[in-house]
A = this chain, B = another copy of it.
Amino acid sequence: MTTLQRRTGIALWRQVADQIRQSVLSGMTANERLPAEAELANRFGVNRHTVRAAIAALEKEGTLRAEQGRGTFLNDRRRLQYPIGPRTRFSSGLKDQSQTRTGKLLSSRTIPAPPRVAEALELPKTAEVVELSTVSAADGDPISAATSWFDASRFAAIAEHYAETGSITASLARLGVDDYTRQTTAIEARHASSEDLDLLGLSPGAIVLLTRSVDVDSAGQPIQYGESRFAADRIELLIDNRAPAA
């Protein structure tokens, strides 16, 4: 099966932690007991201390809890599903899966459009854009860090609106965009940058899902280009074609 590897720059206990998250916990329900440390050590072919180090890491991140004499148990921590489709909206998509959602504005500035941004927004190369850096959280846990760009000539005031509402949809509505749809979403995966580690509260080596998206208004004009980083261990992206645009 899946043998662990040495000398890769990734400690064994961390590989074991990842394995436990994936193969051991995948079929388990909340508050279920894990196999004993000794059995896990045997299964992965490592020392019990190495399994203990892995469990300690998973305990620290909130996935497990160990109780002396009783065993180690799986905490209730679902991966949120973030839907992607023509009607993709951050706020509403997660609403029914979490209690509270917050969107915080980190910074904003008006700059000449970077080439890829100008292309996505169908603006001339000399155009100016508003750049928004935001972090979104659900139930207090940071979910995504995003950078968004808007045509400065049309949406100069969007930063102020976002700071008040914490929502792109609401901010756009205030600026006369009643409705918009997702045109394209490109998805990549990579190791988190040190900035993302900070923003999303991840440990080094963690993975982020990176989406690059273009939203268009009802006239088909691109209004937003965004690059979002999602904590891959807390979220999955879901494309559901059963629910077409309303």
Contacts and interface: CB of A to CB of B under 8 A. Distances in A.
Nearest to A57: B9
Interface residues of A, number: 57
Most chain B beta-carbon neighbours within 10 Å: one of A10, A21, A27, A240: A10
A184 B240 CA distance: 4
Nearest to A205: B10
A2 B193 contact: yes
Nearest to A114: B27
Nearest to A212: B236
Interface stretch (A80-88, A97-105, A140-148, A165-173): A80-88
Contact of A236 (B57, B187, B195, B204): B187
Contacts of A185: 238-239
Interface string A15-31: 10111011100010000
A189 B207 CA distance: 7
A198 interface: yes
Contacts of A193: 2, 19, 22-23
B239 A84 contact: yes
Contacts of A53: 9
A111 interface: no
Given A11-B11, A205-B9, A240-B184, A4 B194 contact: yes
A153 interface: no
Interface of A: 1-5, 8-11, 13-15, 17-19, 21-23, 27, 53, 57, 79, 81, 84-86, 115, 181-191, 193-195, 197-198, 203-205, 207-209, 232, 236-242
